[in-house]
């Protein structure tokens, strides 16, 4: 009997405790939403957030007994008005805020929520500089532009381009994205050659001037990172400047995909301006829940006469509500009460109407933030979980190619495996492979309706040429010869330099500067020293690599072997019976012949009185003189030496004959 009473008492106490627990749960919890109603992203996100709140309140397994009350504020695409609207939202004691949509407002509001301990869960602020270290209460419910710019860099590297021009809106969103792009390209050994900043809310003339300067640059790979509501004017103006023709490459971040998706299929009027573009879009895997939500969103939008369609930011907005709702449910299950306390540092000054004292600190903000970081659910966008840097795990993008009246999927990018034609959710089941051989995309139809990959650059109209010094000298002109003009240079060294320039994957315009008057050799040390003084960028010529010169300039590898060589023009060799005459010139042969005839005459004078071989008729004596002179060149005579003068003279002749034979 005592045991039965004890059991009943326990049951009664448990019921009372459960009832007390239920009473501790508030009947409603306020959650704020901050975005621009009338915008490409805002129109999709507003309805998605409302549908998410309805689904949460209809689900008995989440926030049981507690209704989620949504309070929205319109930022009106204005940083100032957005900040004011955010402060008004904080006055209403919200426990979390979905938004903001703008990265610029996110920077400002993050300071406020840090002070009031209200978690900020943004579905569209993609600026990578919104970091957890600086803004601990800011949590990004979408993919950071850090990953999107790595996707862009992978595309640039895949097609082996080395320089790009970045066109971006000059605000926190644009500058943060381009900064991340520069780092991502540097990792691929590429770079941003020119940054074209477009001020926010620019008119057509300002955009035209920016694009005109872009068109003067050498890079034809253009990366566009602007806001979706004004970005389409860029392509309209670029089309008028003939920048949508063959040879150009346009890579556009996910804002254009949001515009195209929001316009509906076949309802976009400016498709002719954007043919051949490569566009990134958030990758959201197909699922039954996603298809059901799209159908529900379209039905409600049709009933409310909403003119735009759903885009990927709507999926992230929907998931953000569920992330916040489940975190609040976990917070309430832990017994935490929803309480707010005044901040003693926020006091209204005398005569002030700002009512700063109405901004209160959420006492459970730290605990709610920790519950948000522990999120691990499957939403419309796939797996929803945060890594140690508070970024969503498994970021991925679809890569689209605009053509005709729509777009064509040419591949995917994920930080797990890089570029691929296989969906990321399939690759997640395999070991990661980011090697170059595994990177693949389908063929692209580029601007100008061509499938040939654009070179990616042209010679710039206003680029600074490379100043190349060339020695102008009278000797060894076969190696290098400088003329009066910068284009009037030639030689073997110049040919080597021009061939090397042509092998570069980017243009290098050169201006040859001749040094010297052409009458005497200029000082090579002085020419090389001009590089160190920035008078020249490079020098080309037959420069020897010596120690003192290597201290002030870098040398290429030698392209001519050192040694004793003779540089001579190449002439066609002809075979002739008179080839033995070529070692001496005609004048030399005449002098040699005259010398031997002179010797023959001298010998005849000395010998004809005593030597019978030098006597006879005048004709015989003349023949003897010429024969003696001619035969002396080829053999030694065996004639009898009749006089000492003949013997002395013959010694001279024999010596001359010996020297002659050595040279011949």
Determine the pLDDT at residue 398.
97
pLDDT given for residue 661 in this prediction: 47
Residue 354 confidence class, pLDDT cut points 50, 70, 90? low
Q: Kindly report, residue by residue over 46-90, the tens digit of the pLDDT.
A: 999 999 999 999 999 999 889 999 999 999 888 888 888 998 999
Token output for 579: 């080839």
Start-end of H helices in 117-144? none
**618 pLDDT exceeds 90?**
no
CA distances from 660 to 23, 583, 596, 630 (A): 129, 11, 12, 13
Tokens of 345: 């540092």
Of 209-218, 353-362, 480-489, 505-514, the range with the lowest mean pLDDT is: 480-489
Hey, which of 265-269, 614-618, 656-660 has the most confident mean pLDDT?
A: 614-618
Q: What is the mean pLDDT of residues 278-289?
A: 96
- The CB density around residue 267, as the number of other CB atoms within 10 Å, is 13
Distance CA 425, CA 50 (A): 29
Give the pLDDT score at 281: 97
CA distance 262 to 313: 10
Alpha helices in 347-456 (DSSP H): 365-373, 424-427
Structure tokens at 580: 């033995």
In sequence order, the β-bridge partners of residue 386 are 392
Taking the C-alpha atoms of residue 174 and residue 127, their distance in angstroms, rounded to an integer, is 8
**Per-residue H/E/C for 313-374:** HHHHHHHHHHHHHHHHHHHHHCCCCCCEEECCCCCCCCCCCCCHHHCEEECCHHHHHHHHHC
Q: How far apart are CA 189 and CA 240, in angstroms?
A: 33
By C-alpha distance, which of 177, 77, 124 is closest to 320? 124
Residue 110, SS3 per DSSP: helix
CA distance 189 to 16: 68
What pLDDT sits at residue 560? 76
The 10s digit of each residue's pLDDT in 515-548 is 888 888 888 889 889 988 888 999 998 888 888 8
Alpha carbon 18 to its chain centroid, in Å, reads: 61
Give the tokens for residue 448: 């100008």
CA 170/CA 201 separation, integer angstroms = 10
Average pLDDT of the chain, as a whole number: 86
With a cut of 70, say whether residue 324 has pLDDT above it. yes
**CA-based nearest residue to 554, from 525, 536, 531, 534:** 531
Q: Is 661 strand, coil or helix? A: helix
Mean pLDDT of 308-329: 96
Name the nearest CA neighbour of 478 among 494, 464, 462, 502: 494
Number of H helices and number of E strands within the chain?
19, 22
Share of the chain above pLDDT 70, in %: 86
Share of the chain above pLDDT 90, in %: 54
If we measure between CA atoms, which residue out of 281, 567, 544 comes closest to residue 397?
281
Q: Two tokens at 155?
A: 């595309």
Calculate the alpha carbon distances from 66 to 191, 200, 327, 393, 661 in Å: 53, 42, 13, 30, 122
Neighbours of 222 (CB within 10 A): 24
Supply the pLDDT for residue 579. Answer: 73
Res 18: pLDDT: 47
- As to burial, measured by CB atoms within 10 angstroms (0-12 exposed, 13-18 middle, 19+ buried), residue 27 is exposed
Q: CA distances (Å), 442 to each of 160, 231, 264, 408, 422, in order? A: 16, 27, 25, 10, 11
pLDDT value, residue 157: 95
Q: Mean of the pLDDT values across residues 283-290?
A: 95
Contact 252, 278 (CB under 8 A): yes
Please report the pLDDT score of residue 411 as a whole number: 97
Please, what are the domains in the chain?
A: 26-143+308-344+357-385 (3.40.50.2300), 145-296+394-438 (3.40.50.2300), 466-550 (3.40.190.10), 580-663 (no CATH)
631: how many CB neighbours lie within 10 A of its CB?
14
Going 294 to 299 to 303 to 307, the CA torsion angle's sign is positive
pLDDT value of residue 255? 95
Question: Has residue 581 got a pLDDT over 50?
Answer: yes
Q: Assess whether pLDDT exceeds 70 at residue 562.
A: no
The Cβ-side half-sphere exposure at 486, using a 13 Å CA radius, reads 10
Under the banding of pLDDT at 50, 70 and 90, the label for residue 269 is low
pLDDT in tens, 416-442: 999 999 999 999 999 998 888 889 999
* Rounded Cα–Cα distance for residues 622 and 628 (Å): 10
Inter-residue contact 521 to 473 (CB < 8 Å): yes
Query: What value does the mean pLDDT take over residues 499-503?
Result: 87
Residue 654: what pLDDT?
A: 53
Tokens 């900064």 correspond to: 179
> Mind listing the pLDDT tens digit for each residue in 1-43?
455 665 555 555 555 444 444 446 899 999 999 999 999 999 9
pLDDT value of residue 21 = 47
The 3-state DSSP class for residue 30 equals: strand
- Mean pLDDT, residues 606-627 taken together: 76
Cα 231 from chain centre: 21
Closest listed residue to residue 258, CA positions, set 222, 295, 301, 228? 228
The pTM (predicted TM-score) of the whole model is 0.72
Strands (E), 174-256: 191-198, 221-225, 249-252
Q: What is the mean pLDDT of residues 590-600?
A: 82
pLDDT score recorded for residue 660: 45
* Closest to 472 (Cα-Cα) out of 510, 511, 544, 521: 521
Q: Which of 31-40, 343-352, 600-609 has the lowest mean pLDDT?
A: 343-352
The yes-or-no verdict on residue 268 having pLDDT over 90 is: no
35 strand-pairing partners: 74
Express each pLDDT in 298-308 by its tens digit.
Answer: 999 999 999 89
Alpha-carbon distance 327 to 374, whole Å? 8
pLDDT in the model for residue 313: 96
Tell me which H or E stretch contains 503: helix 492-503
Of all helices (H) and strands (E), which one includes residue 46?
A: helix 40-58
pLDDT value of position 647 = 53
Q: Which two tokens stand for residue 256?
A: 């254009």
Where do we find the tokens 């003939």?
Answer: 242
Rounded Cα distance between 306 and 550, Å, is 72
**Average pLDDT of the segment spanning 627-640:** 64
Q: Which residue has the tokens 């089309």?
A: 239
pLDDT digits (tens, 9 = 90+) for 156-196: 999 999 999 999 999 999 999 999 999 999 999 999 999 99
pLDDT for 363 beyond 80 = yes
């Amino acid at each position: 009997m005592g045991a039965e009473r004890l059991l009943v008492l326990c049951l009664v106490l448990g019921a009372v405790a459960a009832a007390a627990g239920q009473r501790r749960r508030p009947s409603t919890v306020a959650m704020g939403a901050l975005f621009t109603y009338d915008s490409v992203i805002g129109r999709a996100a507003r309805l998605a957030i409302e549908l998410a709140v309805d689904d949460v309140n209809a689900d008995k397994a989440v926030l049981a007994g507690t209704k989620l009350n949504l309070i929205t504020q319109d930022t009106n695409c204005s940083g100032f008005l957005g900040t004011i609207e955010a402060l008004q939202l904080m006055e209403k004691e919200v426990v979390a805020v979905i938004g903001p949509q703008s990265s610029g407002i996110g920077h400002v509001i993050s300071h406020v929520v840090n002070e009031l301990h209200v978690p900020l869960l943004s579905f569209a602020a993609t600026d990578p500089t919104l970091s957890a270290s600086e803004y601990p209460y800011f949590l990004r419910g979408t993919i950071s532009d850090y990953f999107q710019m790595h996707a862009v860099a992978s595309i640039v590297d895949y097609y082996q381009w080395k320089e790009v021009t970045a066109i971006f809106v000059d605000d926190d969103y644009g500058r943060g994205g381009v900064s991340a792009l520069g780092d991502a390209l540097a990792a691929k050994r590429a770079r941003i050659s020119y940054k074209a900043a477009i001020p926010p809310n620019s008119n057509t003339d300002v955009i035209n001037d920016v694009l005109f300067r872009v068109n003067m640059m050498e890079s034809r790979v253009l990366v566009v990172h602007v806001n979706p509501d004004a970005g389409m004017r860029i392509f309209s103006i670029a089309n008028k400047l003939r920048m949508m023709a063959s040879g150009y490459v346009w890579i556009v971040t996910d804002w254009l995909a949001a515009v195209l998706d929001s316009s509906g299929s076949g309802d976009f009027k400016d498709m002719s301006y954007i043919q051949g573009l490569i566009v990134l879009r958030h990758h959201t895997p197909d699922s039954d829940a996603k298809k059901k939500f799209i159908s529900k969103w379209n039905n409600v939008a049709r009933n409310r006469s909403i003119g735009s369609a759903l885009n990927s930011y709507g999926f992230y907005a929907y998931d953000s509500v569920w992330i916040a709702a489940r975190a609040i449910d976990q917070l309430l299950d832990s017994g935490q009460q929803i309480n707010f306390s005044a901040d003693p540092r926020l006091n209204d000054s005398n005569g002030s109407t700002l009512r700063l004292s109405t901004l209160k600190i959420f006492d459970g903000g730290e605990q709610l933030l920790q519950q948000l970081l522990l999120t691990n659910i499957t939403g419309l966008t796939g797996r929803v979980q945060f890594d140690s840097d508070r970024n969503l795990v498994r970021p991925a993008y679809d890569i689209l190619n605009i053509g005709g009246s729509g777009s064509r999927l040419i591949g995917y990018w994920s930080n797990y495996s890089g570029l691929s034609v296989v969906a990321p959710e399939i690759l997640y089941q395999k070991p990661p492979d980011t090697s170059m051989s595994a990177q693949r995309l389908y063929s692209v139809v580029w601007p100008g309706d061509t499938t040939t990959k654009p070179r990616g650059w042209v010679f710039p109209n206003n680029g600074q040429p490379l100043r190349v010094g060339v020695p102008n000298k009278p000797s060894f002109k076969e190696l290098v010869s400088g003329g009066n003009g910068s284009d009037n240079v030639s030689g073997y060294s110049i040919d080597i330099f021009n061939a090397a320039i042509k092998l570069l994957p980017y243009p290098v315009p050169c201006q040859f500067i001749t040094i010297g008057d052409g009458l005497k050799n200029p000082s090579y040390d002085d020419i090389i020293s001009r590089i160190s003084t920035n008078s020249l960028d490079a020098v080309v010529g037959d420069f020897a690599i010596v120690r003192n010169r290597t201290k002030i300039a870098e040398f290429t590898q030698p392209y001519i072997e050192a040694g004793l060589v003779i540089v001579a023009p190449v002439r066609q060799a002809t075979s002739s019976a008179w080839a033995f005459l070529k070692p001496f010139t005609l004048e030399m042969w005449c002098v040699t012949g005259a010398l031997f005839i002179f010797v023959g005459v001298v010998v005849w004078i000395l010998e004809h009185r005593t030597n019978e071989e030098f006597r006879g008729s005048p004709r015989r004596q003349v023949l003897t003189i010429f024969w003696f002179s001619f035969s002396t060149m080829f053999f030694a005579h065996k004639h009898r030496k009749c006089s000492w003068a003949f013997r002395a003279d013959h010694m001279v002749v024999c010596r001359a004959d010996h020297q002659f034979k050595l040279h011949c």
